[in-house]
Amino acid sequence: MKEKRRDHYYRKAKEEGYRSRAAYKLAQIHKRFGIFREGDVVVELGAAPGGWSQVALRLIGKSGFLIGVDLQKIKPIEGAVFIKGDFTDNETVERIREILGGRDVSVVISDMSPNISGVYSTDHARSIYLSEIALKFAIETLKRGGVFVVKIFEGDLIGDYVKKAKRYFGMVKLYSPKASRSSSSEIYMVAKGFKGRHETDEPAENS
C-alpha cells in the first residue's frame, strides 16, 4: 500500500475516478496507436476492475458497445455488459457471442494475467498461453481492419507469438506504456489492420 500511495498513476486514478492505474496504460496505447473510434464494438478480456473499460467507453462513445469478461465480478458501468466467467471455457465464449448478437467486433483488448507463481519462465509461458487464446478469439471475431491489443510477459516465446500475429494483421508492434511500473515485465502487443482468417486455419480451440 505504501508503494501504491507513492505511485503517481495510482494517485491520479483515485483523483480522476478511474478504477485502476491500468486505465492510463490503455489511454497511452490509444494515444500512440489510435486504437478506438466512436461507435466501435469492443470485447475486453480480463476486464476487472474496470479501468480499461472506463477508458474504452469514453473513446467509443454512446454509439459504441463493450462487453467485458473476467473471473471476478465487475461492478456495473453504464454502457458496458460484464460477464463473470473463465474466458478459457467454451461456455463463457459462447455467452460473449450470444451477447454480441451478430455485431461486427472492431477491437479486442486483453489485460489478462496468469496467477503469478514467482517462477519467471512459468509465468511467461502461462502469459503466452492466455495470449494465444485471446489471439484465436480475435481471429474468429474481428471484422477486417480490426484491432487487437494484448498484454504479454516478456520472455523467449514472444518472438514466435508476434510472428504468428503478423500473419493476420497489417501492423504488429510491441509497446511499453509509461504507466507500466519499471519493475514490471509486462509489454503490450498492438496489432492493427486485421486481414481476415486464412482458409487453412483450424477453428479456434475455444469457439
* Domain map (residue ranges) of the chain: 23-169+176-194
| Annotation marks residue 151 as catalytic | yes
Instruction: Decide the pairing of beta strands 186-194 and 169-175.
Output: antiparallel
Q: Estimate the share of the chain in helix, then strand, then coil, as percent rounded to the nearest 5.
A: 40, 25, 40
pLDDT at 197 over 90: no
pTM: 0.89
CATH dotted code for 23-169+176-194: 3.40.50.150
Query: What residues have CB less than 8 Å from 98, skipping those under 6 apart?
Result: none
How do residues 100-148 score in pLDDT, each as one tens digit?
999 999 999 999 988 888 888 899 999 999 999 999 999 999 999 999 9
Per annotation, catalytic residue among 12, 73, 136, 151: 151
C-alpha cell at 177: 506504456
Mean pLDDT for the chain?
Answer: 90
